[in-house]
Amino acid sequence: MKAINKINILQKIIKDHILNKNTIGFIPTMGALHKGHLSLIQKAKHENDIVVVSIFVNPKQFNKQEDLDRYPHTLEQDKALIQDYANYVFCPDVDEMYPTGFQSTIHIGDLANILEGEHRPGHFDGMATVVLKLLHLCQPTRIYMGLKDYQQCLIVEQMVKDLDIPTKVVGVPTVREDSLLALSSRNLLLLPKDKKPAAQIFVALLKAQELILGGERDARIVERTIKAELEHISKKIDYVAVRSLSLETIPTIDQDVVILVALYLGGVRLIDNIIVRL
């Protein structure tokens, strides 16, 4: 695996691979890599000639400076984890990605203003800006994204469609700890006493799935049921939402749905979701 931190070097390497008609699998990350990221990289390795992983903690998608400051930085461990699976790791610094005078930003529409977007204004514009830049740099055949960040996946799919980017977005199922807690870089910030309650998030989602498959069709009843479960573990719940797979609000569950939650435990914000197919 070759480590690259300069854009012009990455562009030359990518150009050579495109001339050789190699397919490129790309995984954008912010580091603090775990088995969930590894599942994306392994899938990309299986489906493409070369694999490029980016590691860049993007300041434009953080709403609060303290959140950016707290974000884990484990670059050397990250490189060791993926060295047998990726061909290239692109790990630029902030000045490389956003040099003096950088002004352009991608603005996402309505899809970015709900759920995560409502509670983290500007987050998805910052995410889309860096992902679009990375897509231009890597020109991948496929980009691999974890479905734990369900809304993010939909937004990248929409952006790729709207801007005619010749890249396929591949959503990969969430990888979980034995406790059922969704793997996340933010888990590193959890205190030991919060790990067990955090695992109850997905337990609540499984109960909601059971409720729906048992015949409940009122989306608001399902939401209230999950919220009541989660209030036992968290004093701050940002949202509990039953939505269509395109994230539209639905009063009646008459189609496949995704149930999404976001809450805080010990000051750490966690998100999770489950797709329920009728």
Q: Give the CA distances from residue 49 to residues 60, 124, 141, 227, 252, in Å, rounded to whole numbers and listed in that order.
A: 31, 30, 10, 45, 45
From the number of C-beta atoms within 10 Å of its C-beta (0-12, 13-18, 19+), residue 158 rates as middle
Spatial neighbors of 4 by CB under 8 A, at least 6 apart, are 10, 13, 88, 89, 90, 91
From the number of C-beta atoms within 10 Å of its C-beta (0-12, 13-18, 19+), residue 127 rates as buried
Which one from 17, 37, 136, 232 is the annotated catalytic residue? 37
**Residue 37 a catalytic site member:** yes
Closest to 54 in 3D by CA, of 5, 121, 111, 126 = 5
- Name the strands in the sheet holding 2-4, side by side, starting at the edge strand that comes first in the sequence: 2-4, 88-90, 50-55, 24-29, 142-146, 168-172
Here the tokens at position 82 are: 């993926």
Q: Which residues are tagged catalytic? A: 37
